[in-house]
Amino acid sequence: MRREIHMFFLPFLAHGHLIPVVDMAKMFASRGVKTTIVTTPVNALLFSNTIARSKESGIHIGVELLNFPAVDVGLPEGCENDDLIPTSQDGNLEMITKFFQASLMLQQPFEKLLQERKPDCLVADTFFHWATDAANKFGIPRLVFHGISYFSLCASECMSLYKPYKKVQSDSQPFVVPNLPGDIKLTRNQVPDYVKQDAETNSTKLLKAIKEAELKSYGVFVNSFYELEATYADYYRNVLGKKSWHVGRVSLCNRKNIDKVERGNKSVIDEQECLEWLESKEPNSVLYICFGSRTNFTSSQLKEIAMALEASELQFIWVVRKQKNNEEEDDWLPEGFEKRMEWKGLIIRGWAPQVLILDHEAVGGFVTHCGWNSTLEGVCAGVPMVTWPAFAEQFYNEKLLTQVLNIGVAVGAQKWVRLVGEFVEREAIEKAVKEMMKGDKAEEMRNRAKALAEAAKKAVEKGGSSYSDLDALIEEISLRSH
């Protein structure tokens, strides 16, 4: 009989990082592993309902709390999640720096916890680079969780090794990413700022620390499934020589009972109302538009999207993130837009039940910022996507969707920007959504997307690729701890 092992999970303090790690802990717990999530009090509240529901269904997930030193670094008390970082004129950079400074200060109390609890393995977010040294002190294997795809991991490594963006004459001149399978083309404009910077900055120092920590870690944990990006999973392991396990998509463990990490911005629509609206629509007739919790657009860009939607004559659900400190929050809507769109379009301000919406047969396409969580949700729902990347690794994910999987249509965003999405004109938006929903290749794309969704479901079932990789990891940690 296999000895029970104890896994610690240390997610970064941001919604996009918390959500998959909570799902991951639930997945391990459902396989008989003792699991504990280590976080701060404010973040623990965000997934307390999920923990309670899991317990009711016989899956116990422990939670350990660390005090977050927000006030010590000059942040407001309770500022423990990146969604709570105060806005400022400089694009939040000063406050973000303070937030990371406070995150570094978690190392000492975390080490104390490791010493007391002695888990068999630690899965820690890539941003907690100090977690490798902390775990190694006590002989605990540390797995790095990036929260991105194999494709993006491979592309990032090739960009770092060969620096092809230095060999082009202009910011808009395309180049092929060297040695990366698939003849993937990018421009210097689409490469993240922190990759292109030669001067030492906070971002480059953080990236260097993350890379060094990963080299000393036990391996990498990837929220993906083999059939989605087999070429890049093999390249990452066999060519780049990285030890890794693919166990995704982790949130498929919630498919029968959709859980969510609670957000501060609650939707003005409840799930039942949303479902009733979708039930009145034909299959594949509704366009879903959502740009995640971090991408912001100007009022003029939101107005451009509204006019493109009206001109497209498509039915839609559009999730608009509430603008902080904006008294006239509807000044971006064209006059009379909502009245004209009655029964045709639904605007949700704030949080939306995204998985529930995407899974509905009425939804035929998804306009996305290409964050990896959203990308996976689109893939697992079997819908083609219009890609509108802005920052982080989102331009890499766009290439995976449009050039490798052929289930995406690019809206035309060309420039990596940190917080406010690049302006795209209504004609380009209208063209992209119509091409995806009812263009010549729409049916072909939809069929490919449906096939990937089926593969995703099989991957997490007994004997599937992700199920087997998770089994192999549990067995390896069990033997090691024994």
Positions marked catalytic:
17, 125
For residues 382-409, one letter each, b for 16 or more C-beta atoms within 10 angstroms of the residue's C-beta and e for the rest, the string is: bbbbbbbbbbbbbbbbbbbbbebbebbb
- Concatenating the DSSP letter of every residue in 294-307 gives T-B--HHHHHHHHH
214 residue type, one letter: E
d(CA 399, CA 175): 13
d(CA 238, CA 230): 12
Within a 10 A sphere around the Cβ of 117, how many other Cβ atoms? Answer: 15
How far is the CA of 145 from the CAs of 25, 237, 290, 434, in angstroms?
12, 16, 25, 37
Helix axes of 426-438 and 442-459: crossing angle, nearest 10 degrees: 70
Q: Residue 122 is encoded by which pair of tokens?
A: 């630690």
- DSSP code, position 257: S
Which residue reads 């780049």 in tokens? 240
